[in-house]
Amino acid sequence: MHGETYWQSEIEKCHRMNLTRNIPMLKFLDGTHGVTETGHRLFVACTNDYLGLRFHPEVIESAQKCGCGGFGSSGARLTTGAHPLANQLEKELADFKRSEAALIFNTGYMANIGLISTVGCSGDVIFSDEKNHASIIDGCKLSHAKVVIYPHRDVGRLRELLNEHRSGQSCFIITEGVFSMDGTVAPLPELLQLAESFDAHIVIDDAHALGVLGERGHGTLEYFNILPNPRIIQVGTCSKALGSLGGFVCGSKCLIQYLCQRSRPFICSTMLPSSVLAASSKSLQILQSQPERVHRLKQLSEMAKSIFSECGMTFLPEAVAILPIIVGDETRTMKIFENLYQQGIYLAAIRYPSVPLGHARLRLSVCSEYGEDEWKDVLSRIVNTIKTITGDSHGRFP
């Protein structure tokens, strides 16, 4: 079965399993509200704009001022050159992550693929957490390294696998800092001990940790009070807490220079527009000058956990911006989503293949711009809707 016949059969299979995905048409009015084509106003409770910076007037102004030089960048950096803002942003990101150097990619997805597919050579071994993001999985597949999957955050099992599979060439332990579907935090101190014992590099994807973890939002290393070193490679994105676009890799000068020479997603992609670079730079400056945004994010997160705990719904203490409500059944999850949508709350239903079958969930996320009264009302309505449809308030952690 080939071509459209096969594609249609897969679409029908999705329908039967209640796994059909539709792209919602939603125009954002501000950082937390949107309106559909039919005028239906929604409170967006699943944003990745954790600090509400994409509507910040200084961020918008920075992008607009840069736009006067033309929007597109006309080509890849190595062929047509780069706007000076690219080098400036890379220096700012490296300083922020306390690394020697940084390299910008067009998206966080491309940053993971561009890094992992380039450093993972024949004879190398990659140890990857089973719940790592699709971009990490695809990067591993595109590499020439042997890939070993270890159970989620299971340091003991990882040690056994390292003993079994560690070869004489390069070795990488790859993890997310904050896991995008679960909100769990990687056990970085223990992973670093293993990396030192087995002479491995650690690749940590801080996409959902930047602006979220640590007193000043520097990410997973700050959260655990770990100083960067050449063994640690940090991946990040400007499209979540920074409210902009683009991904990056931070590491040693040697690593960054190597990626410039060998990473095809970097070499062969047209560079981000200067307006995007300017917006990212301004967002990063605001984050560093206003750490109270990070503190408020945590306060609103604790408020949510408190309201849910009163109804028997618990989350791990470490969870901050991502609070997954695990329902399990796909049909029931969609009923909750549709009911909340009619109430004016947009809370994304996450199903296979983003999570395993039978692990469907509502991915509640927190934004520092949520108003407290409205946030409390939204949380109460979510709890009541779950109770009504499931007959229980059984939110649980995976």
Q: Which positions are catalytic?
A: 48, 133, 176, 180, 205, 208, 240
Q: Tokens standing for 69?
A: 């030089």
Question: Cα–Cα distance between 329 and 302 in angstroms, integer?
Answer: 27
Burial class (CB in 10 A: 0-12, 13-18, 19+), 391: exposed
Query: Which segments of 198-291 does DSSP mark as H helices, in order?
Result: 220-223, 253-262, 264-267, 274-289
Type of residue numbered 249: V
Residue 182 in contact with residue 397, Cβ under 8 Å? yes
Question: Cα–Cα distance between 167 and 174 in angstroms, integer?
Answer: 16
CA-closest candidate to residue 82, choices 100, 112, 106: 106
- H or E stretch at 36: strand 33-36
Type of residue numbered 190: E
Residue 152 in contact with residue 359, Cβ under 8 Å? no
Question: Cα–Cα distance between 388 and 239 in angstroms, integer?
Answer: 35
- β-partners of residue 41 are 35
CA-closest candidate to residue 36, choices 335, 331, 345, 350: 345
Question: Cα–Cα distance between 36 and 103 in angstroms, integer?
Answer: 37
Beta strands 41-44 and 33-36: pairing type? antiparallel
The two counts, helices (H) then strands (E), for the chain are: 15, 14
CA-closest candidate to residue 324, choices 297, 352, 347, 298: 347
> Is 2 in a helix, a strand, or coil?
coil
